């Protein structure tokens, strides 16, 4: 063995900025440096052993998971592929292949795609590549797939719709030039195109397919695509006049301010609103402040219907609309106070105008609600110009929301005071300055049940300390439970040192929410412990570190729900660890649950590792939506296939052909 390098004579302190290596890596570095020969041959069996010693992830990472976790590392993909077991299920390989191909295509990673298609699994059909590349807007990937693998993937299927949804116009234009969707996809594509407002592609579809014009118009109006809707009305022949069924779109157009569409639709007699429907249109326009639409509806249909348009305009602060409605003497159909509504939203100009021009009064709600929103100018104006006043709710709401200026003003100018729950509400919201002010300046006998509990759960340690000193009875076991559940370790420690209430299921909830530091502290400092819920819930989150810690440090263990939860939540690493380190197992129907969500890697693991999963037990009809899953089920559970159904997407000709060739009874 060579001698260690001489000590560094330089002053103490790190030579590098990076943190020291973990102990395991330090050990491996020493072995490599001191034990392996510097020159003259190597020891391949030693390096292989070191590699296996360090490799804690390849057994639990699928290609897709590894690719996503490493932000698209081709080197990691190649490493995972090189470490695949020779006994890996071939169907599982195809499933994993298509998953990672979809990820690489979505990222636009042509280098990874080339390696996957040319080296990893040549010849395999591509179920995701084309659609994912289109959805990601990666034209260079589509061009490469078209030039080299046109017969190996889904073309003329969902790719154009995916690109339309993401508004990748260059990709859509390229697809229009190179592909024509299969007829069974055209209906869905029309919906995507119209709902996204892609007029150019809609025009192209109308040229190539028998597009339902009425349906397209209904979709365009329903999604507020008024330019598309106007083009359809002006350039296409409707199969039939839509009539009353189209009325809801008039209300939306009025609310969107689309006067051009309304005028065009009326001129083409798509629908003629009656008085009530016109009133609803007017209300929609008033709520959004579209004065020109309000004027047009009123002039076009001569409305004399008592609607809620005044209220809608007041709530939105649309003063010009209110003035127009008042000028035209339209009837107000709302019995609620307009001034209350305007004050609530802080529209002082509207409040002033209503005061000067309307006989309708306001109520105490006006000042209460203005205070709730922190609208001090409105509160002051109401105090000076109105006689209704307010209630204790004004100060209560302002304090709860932290509006100190409003609270102080009310203290000086109003006599209503606040409520006995006000201090507690301010404490629950973390407003310590407000809590202290109320305590020092108000004479109410405050009641604060649960205030410290809520403040602790929300992480307001300063409020918790103050309540402890001034309101000692405002705490229960829920304070520490809530703080632990939300990961507020400092509050948990403080409560432990300064309060006697303790906790109950704090460790369970902390474990379920992934707060390992809290769990460790509770384990070391509290006696309540946890239950099987801790590991069961940690497994459901996929929190393997928490599961391992509970296994090593607690005796409660878990139940079969732990593995069931991990499997149904797609946490392969947790499933494998539980299989190898715990004896509780799982229920026999968990494989069917995994298959239902197309978690084939988990289904294969359970089928291999657990005796209770050697048979496919189903408490529900099993619908299968991926070809690889269907292949695996048919190969491993041929007798149980009578209770399975294959959900083939419309137009998925590759999967559909496989079903008809293999077992027609599976098809839906």
Give per-residue pLDDT as tens, 132-157. 999 999 999 999 999 999 999 889 88
- Separation in Å, CA 386 to CA 314, 348, 416: 18, 13, 16
Domain range for 96: 57-127
Across 15-29, 244-258, 557-571, 640-654, least confident range = 15-29
3-state secondary structure of 23: helix
Return the half-sphere exposure (C-beta side, CA atoms, 13 A cut-off) of residue 18.
3
As a whole number, mean pLDDT of residues 111-123 equals 96
Predicted local distance difference test score (pLDDT) of residue 5: 40
pLDDT tens, 355-365? 999 988 899 99
Sign of CA dihedral 155, 156, 158, 161: positive
pLDDT of residue 591 exceeding 50? yes
Residue range 364-394, pLDDT digits in tens = 999 999 999 999 999 999 999 999 999 999 9
Among 83, 8, 14, which Cα is nearest to 52's?
83
Q: List the beta bridge partners of residue 515.
A: none
Report pLDDT digits (tens) over 187-230: 889 999 999 999 999 999 999 999 999 999 999 999 999 999 99
**Does any domain span residue 236?**
no
pLDDT digits (tens, 9 = 90+) for 310-351: 999 999 999 999 999 999 999 888 889 999 999 999 999 999
Over residues 237-265, mean pLDDT: 89
- Same domain for 39 and 86, yes or no, is no
For residue 162, give Cα distances in angstroms to 103, 125, 128, 155, 225. Answer: 15, 20, 12, 12, 18
Whether residues 61 and 123 share a domain: the answer is yes
Instruction: With both helix axes pointing from N to C terminus, report the angle between 489-498 and 516-525 in degrees, rounded to the nearest 10.
Output: 20
37 and 65 co-located in one domain: no
Indicate whether 115 belongs to any domain. Answer: yes
- Note the residue count of the chain: 668
The residues near 41 (Cβ < 8 Å, ≥ 6 apart) are none
In a domain, 448, yes or no: no
Q: Decide if 506 contacts 526 (C-beta within 8 A).
A: yes
Distance CA 312, CA 114 (A): 59
Instruction: Dihedral sign for Cα 559, 564, 567, 568, please.
Output: negative
Q: How would residue 638 be classed by pLDDT, with cut points 50, 70 and 90?
A: confident
pLDDT tens figures, 279-312 = 999 999 999 999 999 999 999 998 877 789 999 9
* Residue where a domain stops, chosen among 75, 95, 127: 127
Listed in order, strand segments (DSSP E) in 65-114 are: none
Q: Among 586, 557, 556, which residue's Cα sits nearest to residue 571?
A: 586
Alpha carbon distance 60, 71 (integer Å): 17
Cβ distance 311 to 286 under 8 Å?
no
Torsion of CA 539, 544, 548, 551, to 10 degrees: 0
Q: What is the pLDDT of residue 48?
A: 57
Token pair belonging to 277: 């429907």
Contact status, residue 367 vs residue 389, Cβ threshold 8 Å: yes
The answer to whether residues 50 and 78 belong to one domain is no
Q: Is 619 exposed, middle or buried (0-12, 13-18, 19+ CB in 10 A)?
A: exposed
pLDDT above 60 (res 6): no
- Residue 108: pLDDT band by 50, 70, 90 thresholds? very high
- Contact status, residue 319 vs residue 349, Cβ threshold 8 Å: yes
Quick one: tokens of 489? 């370790």
**Which has the higher per-residue pLDDT, 660 or 342?**
342
Is the separation of the CB atoms in 84 and 90 below 8 Å? no
The answer, yes or no, to whether residue 28 has pLDDT greater than 80, is no
Smallest Cα–Cα separation from 185: which of 627, 649, 626? Answer: 649
pLDDT of residue 641: 74
In this prediction the pTM is 0.85
The reply to whether 106 falls in a domain is yes
Whether residues 102 and 64 fall in one domain: yes
Domain assignment present for 97: yes
* 157: nearest Cα among 660, 605, 656: 656
| pLDDT tens sequence across 466-488 | 999 998 777 999 999 999 999 99
Beta bridge partners of 623: 645
- Does residue 42 belong to any structural domain of this protein? yes
d(CA 604, CA 360): 72
Domain stop point among 78, 111, 127 = 127
CB 191 within 8 A of CB 164: no
* Mean pLDDT within 78-106: 94
- With contact defined as beta carbons under 8 Å apart, do 402 and 428 qualify? no
Residue corresponding to tokens 């639709």: 265
Beta-carbon count within 10 A of 108 CB:
18
**CA atoms of 545 and 539, how far apart (whole Å):** 10
Task: Compute CA distances 369 → 19, 391, 431, 443, whole Å.
Answer: 55, 10, 20, 23
Here the tokens at position 207 are 């040229």
Among 159, 67, 172, which Cα is nearest to 113's?
67
pLDDT value, residue 10:
37
Is 30 found in the same domain as 62? Answer: no
Identify whether residues 122 and 83 lie together within a single domain.
Answer: yes
Total domains present in the chain: 2
Per-residue pLDDT at 241 exceeds 90: no
Q: What is the pLDDT of residue 414?
A: 98
Report pLDDT digits (tens) over 36-51.
565 445 556 565 555 5
CA atoms of 649 and 630, how far apart (whole Å)? 14
Angle between helices 259-267 and 247-256 (to 10 degrees): 150
Residue 162 DSSP SS3: helix
Tokens in use for 71?
A: 């932000």
Domain stop point among 112, 127, 142: 127
**Would 271 be classed as within a structural domain?**
no
pLDDT band at 35 (very low <50, low <70, confident <90, very high): low
Question: Which residue shows structure tokens 């249109």?
Answer: 281
What does the pLDDT read at residue 661? 82
614 in any annotated domain? no
**3-state percent helix, strand, coil for the chain, nearest multiple of 5:** 65, 0, 35
Q: What pLDDT shows up at residue 664?
A: 60
Residues 120 and 70 in one domain: yes
Question: What are the φ/ψ torsions at residue 386 (nearest 5 degrees)?
Answer: -120, 160
pLDDT(8) > 50: no
Q: Domain check: are 61 and 121 in the same one?
A: yes
């Amino acid at each position: 063995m060579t001698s260690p390098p001489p000590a560094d004579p330089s002053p103490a302190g790190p030579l590098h900025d990076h943190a020291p290596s973990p102990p395991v890596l330090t050990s491996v570095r020493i072995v490599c440096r001191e034990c392996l020969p510097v020159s003259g041959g190597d020891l391949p069996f030693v390096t292989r052993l070191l590699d296996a010693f360090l490799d804690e992830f390849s057994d639990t990472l699928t290609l897709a998971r590894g690719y996503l976790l490493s932000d698209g590392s081709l080197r990691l993909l190649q490493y995972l592929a090189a470490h695949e077991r020779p006994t890996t299920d071939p169907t599982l390989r195809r499933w994993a292949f298509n998953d990672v191909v979809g990820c690489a295509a979505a990222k636009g990673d042509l280098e990874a795609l080339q390696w996957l298609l040319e080296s990893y699994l040549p010849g395999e059909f591509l179920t995701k590549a084309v659609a994912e590349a289109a959805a990601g807007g990666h034209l260079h990937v589509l061009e490469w797939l078209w030039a080299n693998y046109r017969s190996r993937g889904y073309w003329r299927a969902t790719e154009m719709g995916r690109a339309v949804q993401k508004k990748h116009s260059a990709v859509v234009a390229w697809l229009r030039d190179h592909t024509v969707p299969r007829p069974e996809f055209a209906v869905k594509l029309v919906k995507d195109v119209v709902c996204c407002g892609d007029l150019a592609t809609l025009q192209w579809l109308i040229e190539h397919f028998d597009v339902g014009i009425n349906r397209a118009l209904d979709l365009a109006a329903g999604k507020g695509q008024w330019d598309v809707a106007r083009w359809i009305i002006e350039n296409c022949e409707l199969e039939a006049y839509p009539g009353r069924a189209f009325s809801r779109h008039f209300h939306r157009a009025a609310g969107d301010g689309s006067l051009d569409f309304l005028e065009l639709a009326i001129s083409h007699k798509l629908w003629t609103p009656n008085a009530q429907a016109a009133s609803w249109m007017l209300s929609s326009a008033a709520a959004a402040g579209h004065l020109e639409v309000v004027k047009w509806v009123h002039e076009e249909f001569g409305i004399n219907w008592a609607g809620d348009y005044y209220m809608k305009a007041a709530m939105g602060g649309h003063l010009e609309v209110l003035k127009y409605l008042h000028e035209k003497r339209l009837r107000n159909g709302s019995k609620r106070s307009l001034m209350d509504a305007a004050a609530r939203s802080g529209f002082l100009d509207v409040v002033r105008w209503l005061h000067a021009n309307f006989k309708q009064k306001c109520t105490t709600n006006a000042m209460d609600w203005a205070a709730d929103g922190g609208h001090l100018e409105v509160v002051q104006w109401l105090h000076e110009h109105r006689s209704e006043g307010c209630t204790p709710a004004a100060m209560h709401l302002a304090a709860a929301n932290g509006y100190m200026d409003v609270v102080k003003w009310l203290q000086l100018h109003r006599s209503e005071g606040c409520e006995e729950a006000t201090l507690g509400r301010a404490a629950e919201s973390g407003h310590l300055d407000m809590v202290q002010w109320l305590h020092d300046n108000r004479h109410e006998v405050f009641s604060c049940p649960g205030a410290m509990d809520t403040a602790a759960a929300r992480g307001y340690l300063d409020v918790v300390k103050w309540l402890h000193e001034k309101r000692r009875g405002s705490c229960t076991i829920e304070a520490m439970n809530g703080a632990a559940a939300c990961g507020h370790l400092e509050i948990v420690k403080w409560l432990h040192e300064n309060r006697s209430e303790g906790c109950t299921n704090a460790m369970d909830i902390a474990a379920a929410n992934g707060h390992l530091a809290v769990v460790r502290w509770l384990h070391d400092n509290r006696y309540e412990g946890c239950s099987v819920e801790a590991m069961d819930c940690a497994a459901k989150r996929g929190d393997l570190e928490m599961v391992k810690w509970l296994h090593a440090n607690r005796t409660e263990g878990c139940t079969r729900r732990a593995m069931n939860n991990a499997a149904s939540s797609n946490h392969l690493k947790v499933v494998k660890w539980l299989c190898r380190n715990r004896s509780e197992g799982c229920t026999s129907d968990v494989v069917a649950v995994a298959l239902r969500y197309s978690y084939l890697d988990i289904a294969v693991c359970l089928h291999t590792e657990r005796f209770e999963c050697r048979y496919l037990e189903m408490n529900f009809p099993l619908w299968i939506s991926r070809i690889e899953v269907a292949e695996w089920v048919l190969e491993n559970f041929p007798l149980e296939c009578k209770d399975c159904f294959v959900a083939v997407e419309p137009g998925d000709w590759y999967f559909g052909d496989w079903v008809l060739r293999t077992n027609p009874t599976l098809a839906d």
